[in-house]
Amino acid sequence: MLLLVTLVWGATFIWMREIMLALEADLDRIGTTSVVAFLISSRFTLAAAVLPLFPSVRQHLGNPDVWTAGLALGLALLAGFLAQMTALGELEPSTSAFLTSLYVVSTALLSNLFGEGRPSRLLWFGVLLATLGAGFIEGPPHLTWGWAEIITVFCAVCFAVHILLTQRYTMRMDPLALTFTSFVTVGVLAMVLALLTTKTGSGAADLVGVLRVEGVLVPLLCLGLLGSLVALGILNLYQRHLEPVRAAIIYTLEPVWATLYGLVLGLVGWTPWILVGGGLLVVGNLMVELNSQDEEE
The lowest-confidence range among 48-62, 79-93, 211-225 is 79-93
For the chain, how many structural domains are there in total? Answer: 1
pLDDT at site 97: 66
Residue 233 belongs to domain spanning: 2-296
Return d(Cα 182, Cα 170) in angstroms, integer: 12
Three-state DSSP at 118 gives coil
Burial class (CB in 10 A: 0-12, 13-18, 19+), 231: buried
Query: Whole-prediction pTM value?
Result: 0.83
pLDDT digits (tens, 9 = 90+) for 22-70: 998 898 899 988 998 999 999 999 999 999 999 999 999 999 999 999 9
Question: How does pLDDT run across 152-184, given as a tens digit for each residue?
Answer: 889 889 988 998 999 899 999 999 999 999 999
- Please give the span between the terminal C-alpha atoms of the chain, in angstroms, as a whole number: 23
The answer to whether 43 touches 220, Cβ cutoff 8 Å, is: yes
The proportion of the chain whose per-residue pLDDT surpasses 90, expressed as a percent, equals 38
Task: Tell me what pLDDT residue 37 has.
Answer: 93
Tell me how far apart the alpha carbons of residues 39 and 145 are, in angstroms, rounded to a whole number.
29
Rounded to 5 degrees, φ, ψ at 288 are: -65, -45
pLDDT at 293: 54
- From residue 113, alpha-carbon distances to 118, 156, 240, 280 in Å are 9, 16, 19, 26
Residue 223 carries which DSSP code?
I
Q: Which residues contact 226 (CB under 8 A, 6 or more apart)?
A: 8, 11, 12
Check pLDDT > 80 for residue 289. no
Q: Is the pLDDT at 274 greater than 80, yes or no?
A: no
